[in-house]
Amino acid sequence: MTKKVEGKPFWKSRTLWFNLITIALGVVQVVTEVYPVSVEFLGLVNGVGNVLLRIVTSEPVNLK
């Protein structure tokens, strides 16, 4: 018998919100042409943040 894994709603995902925020920061920087942080630093923060969030994540996300 296969166990069905429900998961949490996608809007409760810290990883999703973290990525949306870093994307928004990048878009704001490009649109306004104001770069308070370098693109390289923003990429580094995004990568490290995703790794850390993956380590602490224990529940799958449900896309429904």
- Residue at 35: amino acid letter: Y
**Contacting residues for 10 by C-beta, under 8 A, at least 6 apart:** 16, 61, 62, 63
Q: 14 lies in which domain range?
A: 8-58
- Is 0.85 surpassed by the pTM of this model? no
Please tell me the total count of domains within the chain: 1
Say if 42 falls within a structural domain: yes
Q: What is the mean pLDDT of residues 38-64?
A: 90
Q: Is residue 1 part of a domain?
A: no
| pLDDT tens per residue across span 1-26 | 566 668 889 889 999 999 999 999 88
d(CA 60, CA 44): 25
